[in-house]
Every structure is written in structure tokens, then in C-alpha cells.
Structure 1
């Protein structure tokens, strides 16, 4: 059989065998999922989250801050750069499957030995030549080495894209959490401002009663202590508010100095849609990223196993050579070469064996990481559902405490005015009322934060 026909036959066989793959049949790691979450009394199980999940709070200021985060957050920009790099790397790996074509040209001045084994005796020993050559090489990829490498690269790029979505979701949840804490702090500031004004009036009244010899110096001291204590609480709350403002500024990519957040009240508690646990596998970008890395590791096994089999490639040359400055394309000056090349390492010091063991270990590690990610996701959802359930019950009890404390404060003030009780009873009742109001406001703020954390734990409406 002529050489050209043999080469053509090998090429056809290579293309037919190119569908072979030594990677194991891929299966997503199986993990038993619960049929339903334990505590769904405070959520809506009949609907799904929107992609812009924070819009459930119906807060225009939060919406605007989330848009700023997407446009200017440096951590998000870093995740985007990593994703772009992963896609470029995947393209680089995939390019090895295509024929590689090159071109070279240039003048050469050379000298042969006096025996001139390659030229006639009448030709000079020193001569010039010009060449122009096209080269072709194509790996037939009989065992799927390149195909599996490309599949692994693509899966890693997809995982990087999912990492980007997970980073965006995490940052959005952090921003919502800081923002809701800030609004909660503002609501508590309003309570303290009202209490401080009441305490100032109470101090003035007590001082007047003292001058009229109706109240004692002890009552005045207690009134002053109560006012100073509330002012100290407000100072601490003001400092916390500033720190939260700084945290929001950093997340949206703005300097903390002079950063202003538009005024708004504390949002209403949203209805959080909670889908079935099994939907987490499609809704959480971190789970999707972990699954893609399992796929990439599985394809990596195919690459490592293919290294044990012969690598068959096709190479060729087409060009022209002349001793003058022209005529490179003349028929008589052309040269070509075409043929297959088979290569197989005979001894590599155990490199392929180690690479194969490494590939299997990486698959085991990726599978374990996938299971860990799923379990962590389920725990995060259950944690927030439990917290919301507990806060809902706590809020009802705290509301009763506020009502009772306000009634006790009114009774104490009336009885003190009638001389039936000491000012200590008034101070105690007022302090109880203030603490109950602050406690109720804190619970409401924590409910909002838990709702945001739950929506993020559910995937924030993400889908690939």
C-alpha cells in the first residue's frame, strides 16, 4: 500500500477512534436530600425567589446600593477577572484539538563539507538558499486525551462562573445585612432620642420638686443618672451606626469618608419563598460550582489514563526552496512531507502512575467537597428557618412586654405624682419600658436580617 494511502487510512481510523474516551462514565455524587425543611411556618412554600431577591424588602435605597455593589465592588471585580482567566484557559486547552498550522521563511547561508555528500562536485561548498514552509500537525486524539482535557477546562470555567455568582450572592447578602442593621440602629436611636427628651423633662420636674421640698436629693440624682445612662447608650449606638455606614460604603466601592446613605425607614418583614430542599442543587451557585469541579476531576482521570496509550499524530510540510531570490513557488523548487507519528513513553520514572493516582485522588476530593457544600447549604437554610421561627415567637412575647412596661410606667408616674411611691419606682418602670422597646426593635431588625440570610441561603433566585 502506498505511503499516502496508509496515511489516509490511519487518519480515518483516528477520526473514528476519536470518539473513544477513557474517562469513567460521569455521575453526579448522590446525596440523600430531605423531602421538606423542618420549620416552614414563617415562609411561603408556594412561590420562588426573584433573581433580584433583595427587592422583596421593597426598599428603593437598598435597590440602589445593590446596583452600586454590582458596578463598583472590588471583590466582585476580582471574581470577574478570575472568571475571564478561567474561560481563556479553557479556550487555550481546547485549541490543542484543532490542527496546528505554521509558516516559516527566511534566507540561509551555509557551507557543506568538502566531500559534498548532498551536492554535486561542481557546486560551491558555500551557498545561499531561501525557504518558505507551511507546517501542519494534528493530534488524532485516539483515546480522548485532548477531548477530556478540553471538557475539564470547560467545566472549570463554568465552575469559575458559578463562583462569580456565589460571590455576587454573598456580597449582596452582606450588603443587605449591614443595611438592615443600620436601619435597625436608626430605629433604636429614635427610641433613645425620645427617652432622653422624656428624661430631661423628668429631671427638670424632679429638680423643681426638690426646690419645693417635695422631692429628695436622691430623686434628683436618680433622674440625672437615668438621663446620663440613656445618653451613654445613644453614644454607643451612634458609634455602631457609623461602623455600619463604613461597611456599606466599602461594599459598594466607595470611600467611607463622607459616604451618605439616603434616609429611609425600617422595611416591612417580607414573605420569603422557600422551595423544596432538592431544588437547592439547582438554586445554589456554590453547589453548582462544586458539581462542575467533580465533572472536571472525572475528565482528568480520562486524561491521566490516556497517557498510558500511544499518541498518534499527523504531520506535514509544504514549501519551496531556491538558491536565488525568486522562484520559491515554481514546481521544481517545491518540497513536501506527510506522514503519521506514533509516540509512547517507555520509561518515565513512575510519572504517569503518579499522575493517574493524583487524578483519582482529586476526583475523591472534589466529590467530598460537593457533599460538604450540599450539607452546609441545607444547614444554612435550616438555621435561618429555625431562627425566624424563634424570633417570631420572641417578638410576640416582647410585644406583650412592651405593652406591660408602658402600663407600669404610666402607673408609676401617676402614683409618684400622688406621693404613693418613690422616684426609684418611676426610674425602674421607665428603664423597663425603654429596654422593652429597644428589645422589640432589635428583634424586628434581626427578623429582617434572618430573612435576607435565608433568601441568600436558598440561592437568591439564581439559576444557571
Structure 2
């Protein structure tokens, strides 16, 4: 039966317990710096064709933000990004790596316990008196000496027992490192969310750009049919002798040019389809998207006050978490100025034979404490603190810049959508006038009061206006997607894993560690 330490050993432990329980963490406690933010969005103003939702609805757009476009195919493609996109998978692995590192650092709070089992066989050589022979050596001087003969003694020693050491972390160096790693893991979780949102936005943008190419092809195809009828009219008039060959050639040239433009749309469409496949985690050969039209309506997107961006944008959350990480590293650097206190203990048995090894007579135990303090290191510790402070200041500036960039992105999309709504309304007026000019010029040509060049000019102008109107609609759809991304896509900082979820309560941890862990 293994014996417990004696009363003096337990007295030493009890004397050290108050010291351990009174341990603290040196360094500054984290307080989130204020961000540079405006009370409201400058560009959030009502405009024709753009309807803003009430700020109270800002929380309604959660998670699957792409469903506001009511497109089942887009919905299915977006669902694949978080599962199959390999860039997202890389960020997810980096998050798991950061989370695993927490336990690696946290293990330093526990005592290190090791066991040993040893076997030693020693041989010692020494001289012995040769009493049996009684031989005396007589030297010339008359003195005598008894002779010695060499001999060897061989001993076997067995040993076994545990040893333990424990860094008390009185000044919180280890706990500051844990705090830094926990917040780094939270930051990588926000990076993962930001990457997922970014690739989802890219996919939606590529999808609507593809639909623009489909709509453009449809527009050109309708004009091809119209120009085919115009060519037929000119050919009939030529055969009737009321039109010259130049008119027929002009009509045919216009028709063939438009056919070439229709074919050209396939180049860009194919590239967008390939990009969508990769974003969804598939090979381009495995994805075929049937033709479809660009949506005619723009969904109303809830927009609230700028301060909500601090909670709804994952890139801002990542920047904020890294501020706390580097704040904790300041404390770890300051802790290097204080003594490092460790407890050591060992309990073992040493003797022979093995069968009688575990006996009180063979027991060896020790309990000790040691404190080490660096007396001179040429200013390295001071430099480390200055470096940690500078890193914290750098990440504070990065956080504030991230907020400013988020405000800029949101203001850009709000102004784009407002101005594009005005432009779309004006373009519809111009398109209607251009279509009317085509009808009038064709009637005048048939009546013989205008040459066919007038008709061609009117038709080219009408097609150009129709393409412009379609391009404006494309920009409005894409900018609405960008606005959703600028607002965080419905993500919320509450989705970050909590500090508690990253660390498991352990009854063997001292109470001060449990208290300071959060």
C-alpha cells in the first residue's frame, strides 16, 4: 500500500494554498475601444423605385438572405457554398486549429505528472585483506604488510514512483495566453463567417450576371426576329421595283450584326456558369444552368442605423476579437517581470528485491517549491511589453478602419440603388421614345417619305436604349446583393462561439482559474 505524505508535507501544501488562491492576472483588462461611426446613413433617403424597410425589420433578414430573390435555383446553389466550397473548408480547418490550440495552452495550468520505472545493476570494485593465506611481505627496511586481493560487488536496484510539477501561474501569464488564444479562435470563427458570406455574395453576383447575359441574349434575339421582318419588307420592295439594292444590303447587314452580338453573349455566360460551379464546390462540367431571365423587381432590404454593423458584420467582429487577443498579450508580456513559482513533488520506492519493493523502508518522497526571477536581460522584457502595446494599437486602428470601410461600402450601395432607381425610371422614358421613333420611321419609309437609313438609325438607337435599360436593371440587382453583404447578410455577433463553449469546466482547476477563465 502506497503511503501518503507525512504531516509536515501537508502543512507545506496548506501554507501554499492561500498563495495560489490569491493569484491574479497582471496587465490591462480589456475594454472595447470606441469605433468611428455616424449616427445614421447619409444615403438612406427615399427615392422613386426604391423602398426601404422599417429599421425595426433589420433583424428579420437572418441566415438565408438569398431567399428574398425568390429563386429556387439560386437557393440550392447558395446552400452548397458553406458545405462544398473549398476556400470555406480551409477557413473552417483554420478555426478548428485555433480552437485546438486553446487546450494545448490550457494544459499548462495543470500539474505535470509523470511516472518512472527503473532497473539498475551496479558493480563496484574494491580490495580485501587476504587473511586466509597469512602471507606477510617483508621489505628490506624490516617493515611488514599484509597483502590484499581485488574483489567486485554487484548490486541490483529497482525503482518506481510518480513525480509532479506545477507552475502556479501566480501572475496570470498562462491565463493571459489562454485568453489571447480563445479570442483568436473567436476571430477565426468570424473569419470563417466572413469568408462564407463573401463567397455567397460572389455566387449571387455571378448568378445575376449570368441571368443578365440570358436576358441580353433574349433581347438581341427578339431584335433579330424584328430585323428579319424588316429584311423581308425591303426584299419585297426591291422585287416590286420600289427599293434599291443598297436598302436590302443595309437591312441584311443590320440583321447579321445583331445575330453576331447574340452569339457573343454565350462567351461571358459560360464563364459565369463555370465560376458558379467552382463557388458551389463542383467542377464546371457537372453544372448546367438552364437559361432564365433577370428579375424585374428589386427586393426591399432592411437597413437600420450604422451602429448595427458592429454586430452584423463578421469582418468587424473578427477585428474586434483580435483587439482583445493582443490586449491579453500585453498582460502575458508584463507577467515576465514577476517571479515564476513552481511546486515539485516526487514519491517513489527504491530497493531490492522487487517483491519487497513497496515498503516503508524503501520509500522516498520529496515536496518543494522554487521561484525563479530574471535579474538582468538587457531590456528584453521591456521591449516585449512595448511590442505588445504597439501590436494592440495597430489592431485598434485596423478595427476602426474596418468599421469605416463597412460604412463606406454600405453608403456606396445605398447611393447606387437610389441613383440607379432614378436612372431606370428616366431610361424607361427614353426607351419608349426610341421605340416610338422606330415605328414612325418605318411608316415613313413604307410611305416613301424617308430612306431606309432613317429606319436603321432609329432601330439602332432603340436597341441601344433597351440594352442600357437592361444594364441598369443588372446593376440594381447586383448592388442589392452587395448591400446585403455590406449589412452582414443577416449574420450576428451572437453566432460567435462563446468563451465558455471553448473551455470545459474541470473540478481539478483551482477556483481562481475557473473565475478568471471567462
Aligned match of 1:336: 365
**Counterpart mapping for 1:280-429 below 5 A:** 280-429=309-458
Structure 2 gaps, min length 5: 1-6, 128-150, 496-518
* Separation in structure 1 between the aligned mates of residue 209 and residue 415 of structure 2, nearest angstrom: 20
* Equivalent position SS for 2:181: helix
- Is this contact kept in 1: 2:125–2:152, CA < 8 A? no
Larger Rg: 2
Aligned match of 1:105: 117
Residue 221 (structure 1) shift: 2.2
Match of 2:37 among 33, 37, 44: 33
- Is this contact kept in 1: 2:36–2:404, CA < 8 A? no
- Is this contact kept in 2: 1:7–1:340, CA < 8 A? no
Q: Deviations over 1:381-413 (max 9, x none)?
A: 001001101110110011111111111111111
Residue 320 (structure 1) shift: 2.0
- Is this contact kept in 2: 1:61–1:264, CA < 8 A? no
* Separation in structure 1 between the aligned mates of residue 260 and residue 352 of structure 2, nearest angstrom: 96
Q: CA RMSD in A?
A: 2.0
Which has the higher mean CA deviation after the structures are superposed, 72-81 or 265-274? 265-274
- Is this contact kept in 2: 1:310–1:344, CA < 8 A? yes
Match of 2:88 among 68, 72, 76: 76
* Separation in structure 1 between the aligned mates of residue 454 and residue 321 of structure 2, nearest angstrom: 66
- Is this contact kept in 2: 1:21–1:302, CA < 8 A? yes
Residue 333 (structure 1) shift: 2.4
- Is this contact kept in 2: 1:401–1:436, CA < 8 A? yes
Structure 1 gaps, min length 5: 116-122
* Equivalent position SS for 1:149: helix
Residue 237 (structure 1) shift: 1.4
Match of 2:15 among 2, 9, 15: 9
**Residues 101 and 3 of structure 1: is their aligned pair in 2 closer, same or farther, counting only changes over 3 Å?**
closer
**Residues 113 and 447 of structure 1: is their aligned pair in 2 closer, same or farther, counting only changes over 3 Å?**
farther
**Residues 195 and 313 of structure 1: is their aligned pair in 2 closer, same or farther, counting only changes over 3 Å?**
same
Match of 1:95 among 107, 110, 115: 107
* Equivalent position SS for 2:354: coil
Aligned match of 2:79: 67
**Residues 124 and 138 of structure 1: is their aligned pair in 2 closer, same or farther, counting only changes over 3 Å?**
farther
Residue 133 (structure 1) shift: 2.3
Aligned match of 1:44: 53
Aligned match of 2:97: 85
1:170 maps onto 2:174 in alignment: no
**Residues 126 and 425 of structure 1: is their aligned pair in 2 closer, same or farther, counting only changes over 3 Å?**
farther
* Separation in structure 2 between the aligned mates of residue 157 and residue 114 of structure 1, nearest angstrom: 65
Give TM-score scaled by structure 1 length. Answer: 0.93
Q: Deviations over 1:194-239 (max 9, x none)?
A: 1112112222322232232222222122212211221222232111
Residue 433 (structure 1) shift: 1.5
Q: Deviations over 1:353-408 (max 9, x none)?
A: 33222211111111111111111111000010011011101100111111111111
Residue 109 (structure 1) shift: 3.1
The count of corresponding residues between Structure 1 and Structure 2 is 455
Aligned match of 1:22: 26
Which has the higher mean CA deviation after the structures are superposed, 100-109 or 427-436? 100-109
Residue 11 (structure 1) shift: 3.2
* Separation in structure 1 between the aligned mates of residue 9 and residue 423 of structure 2, nearest angstrom: 86
Give TM-score scaled by structure 2 length. Answer: 0.84
**Residues 419 and 111 of structure 1: is their aligned pair in 2 closer, same or farther, counting only changes over 3 Å?**
farther
* Equivalent position SS for 1:130: strand
Residue 461 (structure 1) shift: 0.7
* Separation in structure 2 between the aligned mates of residue 78 and residue 202 of structure 1, nearest angstrom: 57
**Counterpart mapping for 1:452-463 below 5 A:** 452-463=481-492
1:232 maps onto 2:236 in alignment: no
* Separation in structure 2 between the aligned mates of residue 124 and residue 457 of structure 1, nearest angstrom: 86
**Residues 114 and 283 of structure 1: is their aligned pair in 2 closer, same or farther, counting only changes over 3 Å?**
farther
Residue 264 (structure 1) shift: 4.0
- Is this contact kept in 1: 2:30–2:327, CA < 8 A? yes
* Separation in structure 1 between the aligned mates of residue 266 and residue 87 of structure 2, nearest angstrom: 28
Aligned match of 1:192: 220
